[in-house]
């Protein structure tokens, strides 16, 4: 795997047996995200496997930060907040 940053893209030199979905999994961790790689490589024919030595541009994508999950016991429910300690 050879990669060089190139204005929002990584440059991958294909090895024998590379496929669009395998590159998608390698770079994005999701084999089904290959469509954006194909769109960025209109100069390449869409075939089952890539030819060794072909230069494939891999778009750099920004994944949204994962939402912070607050455990239920930390969530405040304003209806249940108690301002005073009950006395017996």
CATH of the domain at 76: 3.10.350
Residue 10 lies in a domain: yes
Give the pLDDT band (50/70/90) at residue 88: low
Q: Residue 73: which domain range?
A: 1-81
pLDDT at 11: 96
pLDDT in tens, 25-84: 999 999 999 999 999 999 999 999 999 999 999 999 876 777 777 777 777 665 455 555
| 3: Cα within 13 Å, side-chain hemisphere | 13
Asked if the structure places residue 64 within a domain, the reply is: yes
Residue 3 lies in a domain: yes
pTM (2 d.p.): 0.64
CA distances from 8 to 24, 59, 69, 71, 73 (A): 16, 6, 31, 37, 42
Domains contained in the chain, number: 1
Q: What is the pLDDT of residues 4-15, one digit of tens each?
A: 444 599 999 999
* pLDDT given at position 68: 77
Closest CA to 59 of 21, 9, 3: 9
Task: Indicate whether 87 belongs to any domain.
Answer: no
Whether 88 is covered by a domain: the verdict is no
Residues 6+ apart with CB under 8 A from 77: none
């Amino acid at each position: 795997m050879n990669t060089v940053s190139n204005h929002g893209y990584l440059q991958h030199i294909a090895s024998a047996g590379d496929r669009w979905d395998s590159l998608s999994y390698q770079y994005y961790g999701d084999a089904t995200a290959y469509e954006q790689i194909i769109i960025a490589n209109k100069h390449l024919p869409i075939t089952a496997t890539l030819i060794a030595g072909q230069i494939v541009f891999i778009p750099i994508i920004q994944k949204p930060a994962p939402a912070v999950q607050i455990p239920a016991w930390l969530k405040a429910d304003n209806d249940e907040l108690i301002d005073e300690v009950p006395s017996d």
